[in-house]
Amino acid sequence: MAMLELERNPFTITFWVIYDMANTMFSAGVIGLVFPLWVISQSGGDDATIGYTLTIAMTVVFFLSPLVGSLSDILKRRMPFLLVLTLGWTASTTLIGTWGMNSSLLLILIALVSIQLANIFYNALLGDLSKDGNAGLIGGVGIGLGYIGAITAVLLSLFLLKDGGHVNLFRLMGFCSLLFTVPLLVVGRYKFGSINGSLFADVLGETLSKIKSSFQRSATNPDWIRFLISRFWYLWAVNAASSFAVLYAVQTVKMSETEVQMILIIGIATGIPMGAIWGWIVDKIGASTVLKANIAGWVLLLGIAAAIPLMKWPSSLWWFVGSFSGTVLSGLYAAERPIVLAMAPSQRRSEYFAMFTMSGRLAAIVAPFSWGMVSATLGFGQPAAMATLAICALIASVFITSLKS
């Protein structure tokens, strides 16, 4: 039996949960809040600048994720990869804004690529910690408490953005993220060894073979196919909405930055208990049922968001959209990991999580690109871009309806 890289005990589970606070701080605070505001207000960029930068980063991740997943399976190691990649994205975050626009966009690319690859190994380590069908509960608690990182990021922005500036916030969030990740990195069991140069060529060949065989296996598993396709569509909607919600609320819905930050706090705060609640529900009634319900929730929220300017609905409805978003986002994440763990053979867990990541990263390539293209390049504006996301969520709902519990 292979050595577990994380000992299954309450302390290690707690540290795994705390690590997720860094993930949410980066996604909500850096990518979702400070970076868009910095690009628009300080650097003269627009929706396309943000969208195309995120697209480039996610394209790199799309091609690298199966390679690093296969390398992990071959070497039987996850913690060394998690360590290097975590240090990479936290260090890059602290340096954003230090050397100007172009250098900062490059640092954003490095940070995004590193954190997304790190999450392949982070998610796979859940298998070391879970037993007796409690993966949903552990993952749900991680998602729920992980939102503390997002709340911390929004509070830092609320109180320090005007006086401290965007660059200082990047540095502070990068440092806080490092603090959140240190406990898990310290307690992990590491196995280091020499790696010869031919290994990477072998990994490339084996990865291509695995991708081919994975798709061949997928063709015989309709549930896996439907899940991956649905995940592409709903993450297209979620990724774009998360990245551009702040700009949409400020520029189109006409909310103030302070109002937007307060709504973010409410939305994130609801995600804290709901992550654990959804995780408990997953273990009771099944992950696919929870996933279907939350995709339907996204169809509703994105439809309302698009209708506010298009139908001249009151801007106060954004309080409902933003406040309820944390609930349906935590529901998606609480359901996803248990679905993959249930479908993946234990010896190919990293491979399956890599495919899981590839479907999401493909969505993450298209999502910001489509927003930038519809809103800025084609000139249709942000309401049309938001309506596109509602349609994406609806398509995801259609594909997921027949997924078995």
- pLDDT of 199: 65
Give CA–CA dist 190/213, Å, rounded.
30
- pLDDT of 226: 87
Q: To the nearest whole percent, how much of the chain has pLDDT over 70? A: 92
- The DSSP output letter for 233 is H
Q: Is 4 contained in some domain?
A: no
Give CA–CA dist 255/375, Å, rounded.
19
Assess whether pLDDT exceeds 60 at residue 2.
no
- pLDDT of 219: 64
Give CA–CA dist 28/35, Å, rounded.
10
Q: Is 5 contained in some domain?
A: no
Please state the separation of Cα 326 from the chain's center in Å: 13
- Domain span at 289: 10-189+199-400
Nearest Cα residue to 352 out of 218, 223, 209: 218
Residue 36 CB-half CA count within 13 A: 26
Q: What is the pLDDT of residues 63-109, one digit of tens each?
A: 887 788 777 777 777 888 899 999 999 999 999 988 888 899 999 99
Which secondary-structure segment (H or E) carries 402?
A: none
Assess whether pLDDT exceeds 90 at residue 113.
yes
For the chain, what's the residue count? 405
Q: Is 244 contained in some domain?
A: yes
Q: What is the pLDDT of residues 225-275, one digit of tens each?
A: 889 999 999 999 999 998 999 999 999 999 988 899 899 889 888 877 887
Give CA–CA dist 394/124, Å, rounded.
29
Give CA–CA dist 354/130, Å, rounded.
19
Assess whether pLDDT exceeds 70 at residue 46.
yes
167: Cβ contacts below 8 Å, ≥ 6 apart: 38, 96, 97, 98
> Quick one: average pLDDT of 150-160?
87
Give CA–CA dist 134/81, Å, rounded.
26
Q: Is 264 contained in some domain?
A: yes
317 or 148, which is more confident: 317
Q: Is 1 contained in some domain?
A: no
Give CA–CA dist 200/140, Å, rounded.
35
* Amino acid residing at 387: A
- Domain CATH code at residue 100: 1.20.1250.20
Could you give phi then psi for residue 314, rounded to 5 degrees?
A: -65, 140
Q: Is 194 contained in some domain?
A: no
Domains identified in the chain, total number = 1
Could you give phi then psi for residue 165, rounded to 5 degrees?
A: 85, 165
Give CA–CA dist 384/386, Å, rounded.
5
Q: Is 263 contained in some domain?
A: yes
- The answer to whether the CB of 129 falls within 8 A of the CB of 18 is no
Assess whether pLDDT exceeds 70 at residue 112.
yes
Q: Is 325 contained in some domain?
A: yes
Q: What is the value of pTM for the model shown?
A: 0.80
What are the structure tokens assigned to 118, written together?
A: 């790190």
Give CA–CA dist 222/224, Å, rounded.
5
What are the structure tokens assigned to 70, written together?
A: 């296969």
